[in-house]
């Protein structure tokens, strides 16, 4: 028998290919003759286990001084368990185990329902479903906590400072809107109040633009200061630097 993935030789009783590591492909590749060889090896191993158990039981009886007959191992049950294990592995791998293992199932009185129940049990054991207690332990985070961070990233350039005039105007505008919505009942007064709020909004936008302009001017001033400092150095590019030029020697 050969592996359908790498082509290396495989023993009939191997459960996987040691070269490619595949499991299902090896089992699907096994023929009826291969299954019979596996069962024959299992029967031989079972007979060895029975003989070993009888020998150990006889030694234990002689050591303890009992005149009881040696313990007789149940050969039939041991073989049935091993045959049952092979068929279950075939079923888990997806091989046509009903056709391939019909003879051993009949001889060992193994029913199809037993195989299916064992396959289902092992699959559930490998993929356990969460219990009700585990589901209750899982707490769904609130929407305001899903994106909450201890150290949120700050933007590269901020036009509005935490207590800037534009932010104070925005808070004042929101408070006025809430107050007018609740306090003023006359429709004409409400329209006039909304007009005043719009004017306040225009003023706030003007303040925001001024703040952005101030931020730009500050950035330009900082760049000019750095540029003047570099231009005032004694050592110029493409000129041999002097030992006393600048706070430290510059190698160009």
- The yes-or-no verdict on residue 177 having pLDDT over 70 is yes
Identify whether the C-beta of residue 90 lies closer than 8 Å to the C-beta of residue 27: yes
Render pLDDT for 34-82 as a digit per residue (tens, 0 to 9): 666 766 776 677 667 667 766 766 666 665 554 444 444 444 557 788 8
Phi, psi of 2 (to 5 degrees): -125, 155
**Cα–Cα distance between 30 and 40 in angstroms, integer?**
15
**Cα–Cα distance between 13 and 238 in angstroms, integer?**
79
Q: How confident is the model at residue 116, as a pLDDT?
A: 92
**Cα–Cα distance between 120 and 42 in angstroms, integer?**
24
**Cα–Cα distance between 50 and 218 in angstroms, integer?**
93
The long-range contacts involving 49-57, CB below 8 angstroms and separated by at least 24 positions, are 49/73, 49/78, 50/75, 50/78
Identify whether the C-beta of residue 86 lies closer than 8 Å to the C-beta of residue 39: yes
- Closest CA relative to residue 247, chosen from 239, 237, 232, 20: 232
Render pLDDT for 47-59 as a digit per residue (tens, 0 to 9): 676 677 667 666 6
Report the largest interatomic distance among the alpha carbons of the chain, rounded to a whole angstrom.
116
Phi, psi of 180 (to 5 degrees): -70, -35
**Cα–Cα distance between 110 and 38 in angstroms, integer?**
17
* Most confident region among 146-150, 163-167, 227-231 by mean pLDDT: 227-231
Instruction: Specify the higher pLDDT residue, 116 or 187.
Output: 116
Domain boundaries, the chain: 31-125, 165-231
The band of 185, judged by pLDDT with boundaries at 50, 70 and 90, is: low
- The yes-or-no verdict on residue 224 having pLDDT over 70 is yes
Whether this prediction's pTM lies above 0.75 is answered by no
Stretch 70-95: mean pLDDT, rounded? 71
- The yes-or-no verdict on residue 137 having pLDDT over 50 is yes
The dihedral built from the CA positions of residue 234, 236, 242 and 244, taken in this order, carries a sign that is positive
């Amino acid at each position: 028998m050969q592996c359908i993935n790498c082509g290396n030789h495989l023993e009939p009783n191997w459960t996987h290919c040691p070269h490619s590591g595949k499991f299902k492909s090896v089992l699907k590749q096994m023929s009826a003759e291969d299954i019979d060889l596996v069962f024959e090896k299992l029967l031989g191993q079972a007979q060895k286990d029975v003989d070993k158990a009888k020998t150990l039981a006889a030694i234990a009886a002689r050591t303890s001084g009992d005149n009881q007959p040696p313990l007789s191992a149940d050969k039939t049950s041991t073989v049935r368990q091993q045959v049952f294990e092979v068929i279950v592995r075939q079923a888990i791998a997806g091989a046509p185990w009903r056709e391939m293992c019909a003879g051993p199932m009949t001889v060992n009185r193994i029913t199809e329902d037993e195989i299916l129940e064992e396959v289902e049990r092992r699959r559930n054991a490998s993929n356990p479903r969460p219990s009700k207690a585990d589901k209750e332990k899982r707490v769904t985070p609130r929407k305001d906590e899903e994106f909450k961070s201890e150290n949120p990233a700050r933007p590269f350039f901020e036009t509005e400072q935490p207590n800037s005039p534009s932010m104070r105007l925005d808070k004042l505008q929101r408070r006025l809107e809430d107050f007018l919505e609740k306090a003023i009942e006359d429709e004409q007064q409400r329209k006039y109040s909304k007009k005043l709020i719009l004017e306040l909004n225009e003023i706030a936008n003007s303040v925001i633009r001024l703040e952005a302009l101030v931020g730009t001017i500050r950035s330009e001033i900082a760049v000019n200061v750095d540029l003047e400092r570099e231009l005032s150095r004694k050592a110029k590019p493409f000129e041999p630097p002097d030992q006393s030029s600048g706070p430290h020697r510059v190698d160009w």
